[in-house]
Amino acid sequence: MALQAGGAGRPAPGGAHRPDREGRAGRGPAQILHGRRRGEVQSNLGFRVPGKIVERFVDTGASVKAGQSLMRIDRTDLDLTITSRERAVASADAVQKQAAADEIRYRELRKAGWSTQQRYEQAKAALDTANAQLEAAKAQAQMSRNESAYSLLKADEDGVVVETLGEPGQVVSAGQVVLRIARSGSREASISLPESVRPQLGAEAQASLYGGELKGTATLRQLSDAADPRTRTYEARYVLGGDAASAPLGATVTVSVPIGGAATGTRVPLAALNDDGSGAFVWTVADGPKLERRPVRVARLGADFATLDEGLATGETVVATGGRFLREGEEIRVAENKAAMQ
């Protein structure tokens, strides 16, 4: 919009500007950053034993419950190991029974004087060894049964599958990540902050789904102390609230991060400020419409805009430039830019 002086029929020396506020009311300018929505807790799942994947029961984006089967590896070799170790238990059990019988026999012979103390002690030591070997064999067999159960990968918590890294036919090692699951609970936006922006933990920002209408708050939960060596940015995790929290996992989220302190964030073009020696002021458009001189207090000066913390409300119209040519009370006419240029 442009202003024209009504009484003299001359165009006003500057255009009219409607001051705006970036970010939340009461905050200064904001930096707009883009990130990705993710779960607050994300689990990397893998098999506890090596093997070849033979089945995958879920796809990316699927909701899963705790204990639900996700993948399975071939358990043929694991079953053979169970058989082998169970046979070892049977062998150790037979040895233990023989050693126990020998210990009893030599104990009785020692009491009757038909055997030496040394021979009895040898039988007793053989029994102790057989007992230990039997317990070890049983433990090995139980480990084999556990490993066989590990051939079925299950979800440890409720959540959503965000990435699948293993496919049927793939041979994986123990601990290799094959699935990533975002656990149920709070949802976050992961963004990269430049070195010049470092808010305090708990600081609030505004979040919205990129290209959509879902909006909400964002609260800083975590800020990395180590910069990415390639981008020189710091990873920040914002907990999403409101409608933004219902955005799909992996969706692009826009976060408006307040910067430059906590001054009131009403901004006007720098050229809209005037000062005749009695203090800073701007020209506002009052009823009539007439010009009204409005004293203001400047909180911060930027390259193109000034931030005011007193004297002007958001949404009021001010004269952007040429204020030194105007007088209070002048009647003006608001015209479109195109008409004013003509």
Asked if the model's pLDDT at residue 26 lies above 80, the reply is: no
For residue 320, name the pLDDT band (cuts at 50, 70, 90).
confident
Highest mean pLDDT among 12-16, 30-34, 47-51, 185-189: 47-51
Q: Give residue 31's pLDDT.
A: 73
Highest mean pLDDT among 68-72, 186-190, 228-232: 68-72
Task: Select the more confidently predicted residue: 225 or 24.
Answer: 225
Average confidence (pLDDT) over 36-54 = 88
d(CA 292, CA 328): 5
Q: Give residue 20's pLDDT.
A: 40
Q: Give residue 38's pLDDT.
A: 78
Sign of CA dihedral 98, 101, 105, 110: positive
Residue 315 DSSP SS3: coil
Q: Give residue 194's pLDDT.
A: 84
Asked if the model's pLDDT at residue 6 lies above 70, the reply is: no
- Residues 272-314: pLDDT tens digits? 888 888 888 888 887 767 788 889 888 777 667 777 878 877 6
Which residue in the block uniquely carries the two structure tokens 């180590």?
A: 226
% of the chain at pLDDT higher than 90? 35
Write phi, then psi, for 279 (nearest 5 degrees). 130, 165
Tokens of 229: 């060596």
d(CA 295, CA 79): 85
Q: What CATH number labels 2-28+263-341? A: 2.40.420.20
Tokens of 249: 């996992």
Q: Give residue 267's pLDDT.
A: 76
Q: What CATH number labels 42-74+151-182? A: 2.40.50.100
Q: Name the region of 35 (left: φ>0; alpha: ψ -120 to 50; beta: rest).
A: beta
Q: Give residue 29's pLDDT.
A: 59
SS3 content of the chain, % helix, strand, coil (to 5): 25, 40, 35
Q: What residues have CB less than 8 Å from 115, skipping those under 6 apart?
A: 106, 109
- Residues 191-233: pLDDT tens digits? 888 877 888 888 888 888 876 677 888 888 888 888 888 888 8
For the domain made up of 76-149, the CATH class stated in words is mainly alpha
Which of the four CATH numbers 2.40.30.170, 3.90.79.10, 3.40.50.2300, 2.60.40.10 does domain 31-40+185-258 have?
A: 2.40.30.170
> In the predicted model, what is the mean pLDDT of the chain?
81
For residue 329, name the pLDDT band (cuts at 50, 70, 90).
confident
Note whether 123 and 96 are within 8 A (CB).
no
Asked if the model's pLDDT at residue 338 lies above 60, the reply is: no
HSE-CB at 85 with a 13 A cutoff on CA atoms is: 20
Average confidence (pLDDT) over 249-260 = 78
Residue 3 DSSP SS3: strand
- Residues 127-180: pLDDT tens digits? 999 999 999 999 999 999 999 999 999 998 898 898 999 999 999 999 999 999
Q: Give residue 25's pLDDT.
A: 29
Asked if the model's pLDDT at residue 4 lies above 50, the reply is: no
Q: Sketch the domain layout of the chain as residue ranges.
A: 2-28+263-341, 31-40+185-258, 42-74+151-182, 76-149
